[in-house]
Structure 1
Amino acid sequence: MKTLTALFATAALALTANIAMAKDLGPDQAMKLVQENKIQSFEKLNAAALAKHPGATVTDTELEDAYGRYIYKVELRDAQNVEWDVDLDATTGAVLKDHQDK
């Protein structure tokens, strides 16, 4: 029983550490990163996300610092009213994830 309790405690600590490593960046921080050329402009990042779903519109965006890597998260709604989540590497513009939101 002690082993099982220790396993659950370890898993909970690991999950908490992972959550703590990713943090949302505010608009001021994001603009500073763009001005310092550490990340691409939001227009370019939005265009890269929209290229995956022509005719869609951006409904929400978020910039995260995850393990020292800037991730730009874009929520889209396409012409068929389907929602999509697209994650991009904010530095390179590479698409990291593109999936239908359920």
Structure 2
Amino acid sequence: MNRLTAFILATLMALGAGLAQARDLHDHEIKKLLDAGTIQSLEKLKAAALATHPGSEVTDTELEEEYGKYRYKVDLRDADGIEWDLELDATSGEVLKNHQDT
């Protein structure tokens, strides 16, 4: 195996390990975080996501923990049928990502 091949494999493995860090949270974990005030309510986060695209409907949601941070992922469909992927900081409610699904 040459150095370039080894470098590419090592890079891919490192990227894969980074992706594996994100995990979905279970209901009991979410309740503990809500009770502790660590994250905002899912209703409040959903409302913040909907405010970015008025008239949209939520098609899917996920709360994930990655590198010690909590992110709420929301899929929306607007009135024109366009799909949107949003990601919010579950602690502050800040919209981190807002892009059209391709």
Same fold (TM over 0.5): yes
Alignment of 1:17-36 (within 5 A): 17-36=17-36
Match for 1:90: what amino acid? A
Instruction: Give the deviation of 1:58 after TM superposition.
Output: 0.8
Q: Map Cα deviations across residues 24-46 of structure 1 (whole Å, 9 max, x no partner).
A: 11222112211211100011100
Identity %: 57
Equivalent residue, structure 2, for 1:53: 53
The corresponding residue for 1:67 is 67
Gaps of 5+ in 1: none
Distance between the aligned counterparts of 2:32 and 2:48, measured in 1? Answer: 21
SS at match of 1:98: strand
- TM (norm. structure 1) is 0.93
After superposition, give the CA deviation of every residue in 1:36-80 in whole Å (9 maximum; x if it has no partner).
Answer: 111000111001000000010111100111111100000111111
Name the residue aligned to 2:90: 90
**Rounded Cα–Cα distance in structure 2 between residues aligned with 1:44 and 1:91:** 11
Shift of 1:23: 1.1
Runs of 4+ aligned residues of structure 1 deviating over 4 Å after TM superposition are none
Q: What 5-or-longer segments of structure 2 have no aligned partner?
A: none
